[in-house]
Amino acid sequence: MTSTKAILADQSDPLRSFRDRFELPDNVIYLDGNSLGALPKTVRQRVAKTISEEWGEQLIRSWNTADWVHLPQRVGNKIAGLIGAPAGTVVAADSTSINLFKVLSAALGLNAGRSKIVSERENFPTDLYIAEGVAKQIGKGHRLVLVDKPADIADALDDDVAVLMLTHVNYRTGYRHDMAAITQAAHDKGVLVVWDLAHSAGAMPVDLTSANADFAIGCGYKYLNGGPGAPAFLYVNPAHQGEFNQPLSGWFGHRAPFNFETVYAPSRNIEQYLCGTPQVLGMIALDEALSVWNDVDMEALRMKSTALCDTFIEGVEEFAAEYHLKLVTPRDADKRGSQVSYSCENGYAIMQALIARGVIGDFRAPDIIRFGFTPLYLSFADVENAVSILKEVLVTRSWDAHEYRVLGAVT
């Protein structure tokens, strides 16, 4: 039974009509848009048209006639509008990991007299792995230094730190950094900042320009709904464009790729951060998915995200202690993104039991159950239902079954 409070909240929700723009199966409460966004309805037709008409009929002519060749810039400009970046500062390309390699290398090149990259031990592993790889690749004593908690970041910024590399919203806990304050503190110490926006682009308003961020990267397949393995994006502050060559010097980053020159001459603008041929089908899906955002009021999005998370936290609070669920996400909405996570024993099995009942979240080892709240296609009624299904799974111990302990390759 949905409460009157949830019914009223849904009736007055300014974003409620957006749910119709997504294909979502009946009987599913989808709390994993922070991992793979749902399918926007128009993507299906757009990709089909690209395949049948642009690829099937126009063949190679579509690089010009359908302007496939500029998809990285066009899609990048759409993303720019969601992250407070001016046109011409964002491109869509490659994966988040590869884009991190590019911008981190560029940042280290800009701060060449310094050798440390500072990040958090709790950062997403690919970010740490890429930073280790970049440091090793440069091979001049560069190294990654990790801090254990956000409060330790400021003290770690000594005069040998070249780059501070942080994920805006932590993938596991949902903790959100104060981007503007941290960037300012880093700049005061001569440190450049790379932000990973994987869990914030499309989840909340982001303003890279007012924060004066140096570089940013992020995923296309989470809150931007670009589909599995969608192209990622990267941002370079206009002040740094043209100053340094990123090392993946492929032909799409060349000043004039179709001059087929022997020697690499980098573009002096954001195109320098491209490498090879864009993944057209994935790019088309992301481009179409982004059209949903034309009509979204980002402040309303954030308000709803906060309210959805609060509703979930308050609902679970009633039985969390009894079933040993520990909230690891900040209770203070200003300090979190758009997800809520709990640490608990048997988290994997609990999540599998929830998924079997249509409540789809995910599990992050060793003990986190994670619920993402995407304001474009979730209602307050969904959140209440998810809370009662979670309660039922815990009260009945229905998670305690062999089938829910079989570990999938992806958790």
Ligand X SMILES: Cc1ncc(COP(=O)(O)O)c(C=O)c1O
Q: With binding defined as CB under 6 A, does residue 97 bind ligand X?
A: yes
Q: With binding defined as CB under 6 A, does residue 104 bind ligand X?
A: no
Return the range that interacts with ligand X (CB under 6 A); candidates 50-58, 90-98, 267-275, 373-381.
90-98
Contact 176, 336 (CB under 8 A): yes
- For the record, the structure tokens of 47 come out as 């990709």
Q: With binding defined as CB under 6 A, does residue 277 bind ligand X?
A: no
Site mask for ligand X (CB under 6 A), range 316-355, x = bound: ----------------------------------------
Binding residues for ligand X, rule CB under 6 A, total 12
The pairing of strands 368-372 and 339-343 is: antiparallel
Residue 370 annotated as catalytic: yes
Beta bridge partners of 341: 370
Residue 68 labeled ligand binder: no
Residue 262 labeled ligand binder: no
Name the catalytic one among 223, 370, 373, 404: 370
Contact 165, 131 (CB under 8 A): yes
In the complex, what is the shortest distance from the CB of residue 232 to ligand X, in angstroms, rounded to a whole number?
Answer: 6
Q: With binding defined as CB under 6 A, does residue 286 bind ligand X?
A: no
Contact 68, 224 (CB under 8 A): no
Q: With binding defined as CB under 6 A, does residue 126 bind ligand X?
A: yes
In the complex, what is the shortest distance from the CB of residue 351 to ligand X, in angstroms, rounded to a whole number?
Answer: 16
Which of 96, 111, 119, 352 lies at the binding interface for ligand X (CB under 6 A)?
A: 96
Query: Nearer to ligand X by C-beta: 99 or 267?
Result: 99
Residue 357 annotated as catalytic: no
Residue 167 labeled ligand binder: yes
Buried/exposed 74-102: b ≥16 CB within 10 Å, e otherwise:
bbbbbbbebbbbeebbbbbbbbbbbbbbb
Enumerate residues 6+ apart whose C-beta is below 8 A from 143.
115, 116, 117, 135
User: What is the spatial distance between Cα 350 and Cα 345, in angstroms, rounded to a whole number?
Assistant: 9
How buried is 115 (Cβ within 10 angstroms: 0-12 exposed, 13-18 middle, 19+ buried)?
Answer: middle
Residue 221 annotated as catalytic: yes
Residue 102 annotated as catalytic: no
Which of 196, 214, 271, 287 lies at the binding interface for ligand X (CB under 6 A)?
A: 196
Cis, peptide link before residue 366, omega less than 30° from 0? yes
- For the record, the structure tokens of 310 come out as 């609060």
User: What is the spatial distance between Cα 18 and Cα 180, in angstroms, rounded to a whole number?
Assistant: 30
User: What is the spatial distance between Cα 4 and Cα 9, in angstroms, rounded to a whole number?
Assistant: 8
Q: With binding defined as CB under 6 A, does residue 124 bind ligand X?
A: yes
Residue 140 annotated as catalytic: no
Report the candidate in 76, 97, 111, 126 with the shortest Cα–Cα distance to residue 236: 76
Start-end of H helices in 240-379: 280-290, 298-320, 347-356
Which of 62, 73, 77, 167 lies at the binding interface for ligand X (CB under 6 A)?
A: 167
In the complex, what is the shortest distance from the CB of residue 372 to ligand X, in angstroms, rounded to a whole number?
Answer: 11
How far is C-alpha 324 from the geometric centre of its chain's CA atoms? 29
Residue 126 labeled ligand binder: yes
Could you say which residues in the range 215-244 bind ligand X, by CB under 6 A?
219, 232
Q: With binding defined as CB under 6 A, does residue 127 bind ligand X?
A: yes
Return the range that interacts with ligand X (CB under 6 A); candidates 94-102, 255-263, 337-345, 393-401.
94-102
SS3 assignment, position 256: coil
In the complex, what is the shortest distance from the CB of residue 370 to ligand X, in angstroms, rounded to a whole number?
Answer: 11
In the complex, what is the shortest distance from the CB of residue 218 to ligand X, in angstroms, rounded to a whole number?
Answer: 8
Catalytic residue ranges = 124, 196, 221-222, 370
**Which residues are at the interface with ligand X (CB under 6 A)?**
95-97, 124, 126-127, 167, 171, 196, 198, 219, 232
Binding residues for pyridoxal 5'-phosphate: 96-97, 124-127, 167, 196, 199, 221, 251, 277
